[in-house]
């Protein structure tokens, strides 16, 4: 015969931890610590009807906490720092897009811009020369001004043809 095995009864199962009982009321100092706002702010919200008024310096816990959470849930707006961060991020994104566009040539074709610039330059010179009612000195001064401006632009834009090429 085999020796009999003794079976031990199961140890009592641990009950899931139950939350501590929530007190019916809390002091202003406790509510301030719980909410993370000053007692003054809590009183302002109560005076504005956003929170139940405390009674004898004590706040009804559940209604007060629910009202505070509800108030901040419906009235939260980004602060100035969040707005500034968002604007900075948008500006950085736009700059990256422009840089990518320049690198990939998506913004506009440089050759096309230069062609139109050259045509406009020639048209202005022709128009000024056709203004025979103006003294020749004034026409030449205007044309020299246009050429100087074009040369200055060419110096600052390495991809542009020189003024002599126009």
Domain boundaries along the sequence of the chain: 25-75, 78-107, 108-166
pLDDT class of 162 with cuts at 50, 70, 90: low
For 142-156, how does the pLDDT look when each residue is reduced to its tens digit (9 = 90+)? 888 888 877 777 777
102, 122, 101, 127: which is closest to 165 by C-alpha? 122
Check: CB of residue 45 under 8 Å from CB of residue 51.
Answer: yes
pLDDT class of 101 with cuts at 50, 70, 90: low
> Over the chain, what is the mean pLDDT?
77
20, 28, 19, 21: which is closest to 60 by C-alpha? 28
Q: Which residues, at least 6 apart from 29, have a Cβ–Cβ distance to it below 8 Å?
A: 39
pTM above 0.85, yes or no: no
* pLDDT at residue 166, rounded to an integer: 44
- Which of 2-6, 26-30, 84-88, 132-136 has the highest mean predicted lDDT (pLDDT)? 26-30
How far is residue 35's CA from residue 116's CA, in Å, rounded to a whole number? 65
pLDDT class of 164 with cuts at 50, 70, 90: very low
For 21-79, how does the pLDDT look when each residue is reduced to its tens digit (9 = 90+)? 788 899 999 999 888 889 999 999 999 999 999 999 899 999 999 999 888 888 776 66
58, containing H or E segment = strand 58-60
pLDDT class of 103 with cuts at 50, 70, 90: low
* pLDDT at residue 22, rounded to an integer: 83
- Which of 5-9, 51-55, 83-87, 112-116 has the highest mean predicted lDDT (pLDDT)? 51-55
């Amino acid at each position: 015969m085999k020796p009999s095995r003794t079976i031990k009864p199961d140890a009592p199962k641990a009950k899931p931890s139950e939350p501590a009982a929530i007190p019916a009321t809390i002091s202003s100092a406790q509510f301030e610590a719980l909410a993370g706002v000053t007692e003054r702010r809590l009183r302002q919200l109560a005076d504005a009807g956003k929170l139940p008024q405390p009674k004898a310096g004590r706040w009804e816990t559940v209604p007060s906490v629910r009202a505070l959470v509800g108030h901040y849930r419906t009235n939260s707006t980004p602060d100035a720092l969040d707005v500034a961060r968002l604007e900075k991020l948008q500006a950085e994104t736009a700059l990256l897009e422009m840089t990518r566009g320049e690198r990939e040539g998506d913004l506009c074709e440089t050759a096309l811009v230069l062609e139109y610039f050259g045509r406009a330059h020639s048209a202005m010179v022709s128009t000024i020369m056709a203004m025979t009612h103006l003294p020749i000195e004034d026409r030449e001064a205007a044309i020299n001004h246009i050429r100087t401006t074009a040369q200055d632009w060419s110096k600052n834009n390495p991809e542009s043809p020189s003024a002599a090429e126009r």
